[in-house]
Amino acid sequence: MERMYDKKIETITRSELKALQLERLKKITEYAYNRVPFYKKKFDEAKVKPSDIKTLKDIERLPFTTKTDLRDNYPYGLLAVPMDDIVRVHASSGTSGKPTVVAYTRNDLDMWSDCMARLIVAAGGTSRDIVQISFGYGLFTGALGLHQGWEKIGATVIPASSGNTERQVMLLKDLRATALVSTPSYALYIAEVMERMGIKKEELALRIGLFGSEASSPEMHKELQERLGVLPTDNYGLSEIIGPGVSGECVFKCGMHINEDHFLCEILKEDILEPVTEGEYGELVITTLTKEGLPMIRYRTKDITNITTEPCKCGRTLARMDKIKGRTDDMLKIRGVNVFPSQIEGVLMNIPEVGGNYEITVTREGCLDALEIKVELNDGSLLTIMRPFLS
């Protein structure tokens, strides 16, 4: 059996897990209903009470929550605790100019680090690793999320942040990093810069790479393996739910194990939002079962995937979700940043010289995604904006 961070939960029987999930679902619905006026109103409108939750299937009676709800209640309207109990905020971009703000209590941060620690160990991480975190530190959940998880397992963390890629390569080489954490496209870019600098992968000590926050294909993973000498694994999450730490691949790389004792996942048919049969693709909807600061009931991620509960070779019984196949909306992820075309439109339409038509194209610069925007001006001429907002 593989090494595990929390064997008791990671190998729990499906029936014990379901019982635990039901107990927690009852508690969190009660908690959200009593503490967050937004949920009380939504439940009342849907004519459902927390006491109606008697089985896991009863979750289908609860109303959904969306990114728009977070935006409408910006910045702290959905919090279930007084601000005094909040110890951290993060944010991600929303559909308007305002970011989506998320907040954590002390217990939320502990739960988050435990979830991360499980995924890190599943991906092959150990206390002996020296890990370079090349996600941007700041409001983005990626860097601090992974950072706390690696520290929790006792590894050595290099908080390199992103950018200044030649320096990243120097740090990887000189500080003898054995693990790399970044977006998959940035890892490929690091490989490209390393090759340009005339440094061979054999000169590095890298052995594993935890990549996430954007889609990566098996071909991309093969390339990462060849060019950086790492065993790459994919990990998934979103700020509204916790950040990274929702699910991640084990070394067998056959789907991302979900931390199901904290995140109850449903896959719903895209158009009618009703459950699919196991294995079918649909929209992932997540309910946080233990989060105190910002509980999320049936949050529509808009991400498309499927879930299997078939046993995994690693011995974990936690269900696995497939790589994200796409989105049900038009959100783009460009270099780890969520970009909504409507945000760009909002900016363009406030410029008096700009006419009504524009075209957004996602292009490739080496291994990195980039945006190009063609705008029709009022005088009939065409303006091309390359790499808007990206440094």
Contacts with ligand DLL by CB under 6 A lie at: 92, 141-142, 212-215, 234-239, 243-244, 301, 303, 324, 333, 338
Q: Could you tell me the smallest distance in angstroms from the CB atom of residue 126 to ligand DLL?
A: 20
| HSE toward the beta carbon, residue 153, CA cutoff 13 A | 29
Return the number of the residue (50 or 149) whose C-beta is nearest ligand DLL: 149
Return the number of the residue (273 or 304) whose C-beta is nearest ligand DLL: 304
- Percent helix, strand, coil in the chain, to 5, is 30, 30, 40
Query: Measured between alpha carbons, how far is 187 from 368 in angstroms, rounded to an integer?
Result: 10
Query: Which residues are within 8 A (CB) of 339 and not within 5 positions of it... i.e. 6 or more apart?
Result: 93, 331, 332, 333, 371
Query: Measured between alpha carbons, how far is 53 from 57 in angstroms, rounded to an integer?
Result: 8
Return the number of the residue (37 or 326) whose C-beta is nearest ligand DLL: 326
Contact between residue 97 and residue 343 where contact means Cβ atoms under 8 Å apart: yes
Q: Could you tell me the smallest distance in angstroms from the CB atom of residue 336 to ligand DLL?
A: 7
Return the number of the residue (124 or 237) whose C-beta is nearest ligand DLL: 237
As given in the structure block, the two tokens for residue 310 are 């078939």
Query: Measured between alpha carbons, how far is 52 from 298 in angstroms, rounded to an integer?
Result: 16
Residue of this chain nearest to ligand DLL (CB atom): 212
Q: Could you tell me the smallest distance in angstroms from the CB atom of residue 256 to ligand DLL?
A: 7
Q: Could you tell me the smallest distance in angstroms from the CB atom of residue 74 to ligand DLL?
A: 15
Q: Could you tell me the smallest distance in angstroms from the CB atom of residue 299 to ligand DLL?
A: 10
Q: Could you tell me the smallest distance in angstroms from the CB atom of residue 78 to ligand DLL?
A: 15
Placement of tokens 């950040």 in the chain:
243
Return the number of the residue (50 or 145) whose C-beta is nearest ligand DLL: 145
Peptide bond just before 295 cis, omega within 30 deg: no
Backbone angles phi, psi at 226, to 5 degrees: -70, -40
As given in the structure block, the two tokens for residue 278 are 């196991």
Return the number of the residue (92 or 134) whose C-beta is nearest ligand DLL: 92
